[in-house]
Amino acid sequence: MLPGDMMTDTMMSIDPGDYTIILISSVIILLIFPILLYWGWKKGQFKDLEEAKYRMIEMEDENGN
């Protein structure tokens, strides 16, 4: 027996009117993130992703550690 099977009918449900908020939010999220991804890509922010990990070791050496 799972707890879910034993839940009472007092658990809350979503009012149909509130689906509008959820729908609009979902569409915005779906649109914003691909746009940001594209923008970042065009700006070259995905180039040489691994560079920083080598630089931090070099910097430590440069700093005398």
Residues that bind another protein (CB under 8 A): 1-8, 10-15, 18, 21-22, 25, 29, 32-33, 36, 39-40, 43, 45, 48-57, 59-60, 62-65
Pair 40, 46: CB distance under 8 Å: yes
* Structure-block tokens of residue 63: 């700093």
Query: Residue 43: CB partners within 8 Å, gap ≥ 6?
Result: none
**CB 47 to another protein: min, Å:** 10
**CB 50 to another protein: min, Å:** 5
> Is the dihedral angle over the CA atoms 19, 9, 12, 26 positive or is it negative?
negative
**CB 16 to another protein: min, Å:** 12
